[in-house]
Chain A
Amino acid sequence: MATILFYILAFTALAATAMCITRRNPVHAVIYLVNAFFALALLFFLLGAPLVAAWEVIIYAGAIMVLFLFIIMMLELAPHEERGGPGWLRWGPVLLLSLILLACTLLLMVLDPGGAAGVPSYYASPRVFGYALFRQYALAVEIVSFQLLFAAVGAFYVGKSEWGRRRKGGGR
């Protein structure tokens, strides 16, 4: 059962990605990419990585894609004119992909409520995962936290230099 679900989800993710990279409107591309990331999260779950699956939804689909949407709307990058053609051509494919993902999720929940029996071969429990992350890779966790801090400082600097120049009356 898990094998069939894997192939369905793999084709769903590939279809969503193909739709994403061919859109002209960046907002539509981001919506398709969120679908692809939901499919990837279910694939992670099927491969025995429940924590990675949860973080894929929370971080990628929840945080990073919303950040993309914020930037697209802040810079007004989406084209204003509506292209011709019937409306269902625009929202039909994304609705179909979402329904497939919803059906797969419900199927997984009904067949395997505990979340462990659907993954026969390998299942990383939170305990095993936490020991590996914070004991064996503790130094790497510290380095990654420094990297996130530097990225925040760098993003702040890139945004701030332009404000300062404009406030002084120079600029442009």
Chain B
Amino acid sequence: MIVPMGHILAFSGAMFLMGLACVLARRNLIMILIGVEIMLNAVGLTLAGASALWQKVDGQVFVIFLMAMTSAEVSISLAMVVYLRRRKGTVDANAFDGMKG
């Protein structure tokens, strides 16, 4: 290991918290999706660090699966952003409270 595992965990934890703050605080749908991207990348870095820690390749394989999952998630969610924009004319998350959630 080039650095202790604790430092990798601290870094990816800080990045995950930034993504979480972006998802919770921003009301723009695009910025919420960007926050999800940041969180997924932080998790991927944790997986790669664990792969280097235990000298196994499995963590890196899971990063690849994570990337495939992210591509699917982004394609669906951006299509839904386009749909919601056409429907209500805005991308503000507060406008979509029809279910009173």
Binding site for B on A (CB under 8 A): 2-3, 6-7, 10, 13-14, 17-18, 20-21, 26, 29-30, 33, 36-37, 40, 43-44, 46-49, 51-52, 55-56, 59-60, 63-64, 67-68, 71-72, 74-75, 77, 119-122, 124, 128-129, 132-133, 136-137, 140, 144, 147-148, 150-152, 154-156, 158-159, 161-162
Contact of A148 among B7, B51, B71, B82 (CB under 8 A): B71
Besides A36-B41, A44-B63, A151-B71, 20 more A-B contacts (Cβ < 8 Å) are A2-B2, A3-B3, A14-B14, A20-B38, A36-B38, A47-B2, A49-B48, A52-B44, A52-B48, A67-B75, A71-B82, A75-B85, A124-B51, A132-B61, A137-B61, A144-B65, A147-B72, A151-B75, A158-B83, A159-B79
What is the CA–CA distance of A119 and B67 in the complex, to the nearest angstrom? 23
| Cβ-defined contact, A14 with B51, below 8 A | no
| Cβ-defined contact, A68 with B33, below 8 A | yes
Chain B residues with CB under 8 Å of A154's CB are 76, 79
Interface residues of B in 24-41 (CB under 8 A from A): 26, 28, 30-31, 33-35, 37-38, 41
Chain B residues with CB under 8 Å of A51's CB are 60, 64
Chain B interface size band reads: 35 or more
Contact of B76 among A3, A55, A132, A158 (CB under 8 A): A158
Q: How far is the CB of A142 from chain B (nearest CB, A)?
A: 12
What is the CA–CA distance of A163 and B79 in the complex, to the nearest angstrom? 13
14 inter-chain pairs at a CB distance below 8 angstroms, sorted by A residue, are A7-B7, A10-B11, A26-B34, A52-B44, A60-B67, A63-B71, A64-B37, A119-B2, A124-B57, A129-B57, A136-B61, A152-B75, A158-B76, A159-B83
B interface majority secondary structure = helix
| Cβ-defined contact, A71 with B15, below 8 A | no
Contact of A140 among B37, B65, B70, B74 (CB under 8 A): B65
A interface majority secondary structure = helix
What is the CA–CA distance of A6 and B2 in the complex, to the nearest angstrom? 8
Q: How far is the CB of A16 from chain B (nearest CB, A)?
A: 10
Is B95 an interface residue, CB under 8 A from the partner? no
Max chain A C-beta neighbours (<10 A), residue from B8, B28, B61, B83: B61
What is the CA–CA distance of A152 and B71 in the complex, to the nearest angstrom? 10
| Cβ-defined contact, A30 with B34, below 8 A | yes
What is the CA–CA distance of A37 and B57 in the complex, to the nearest angstrom? 22
| Cβ-defined contact, B38 with A26, below 8 A | no
What is the CA–CA distance of A112 and B7 in the complex, to the nearest angstrom? 24
Q: How far is the CB of A116 from chain B (nearest CB, A)?
A: 13
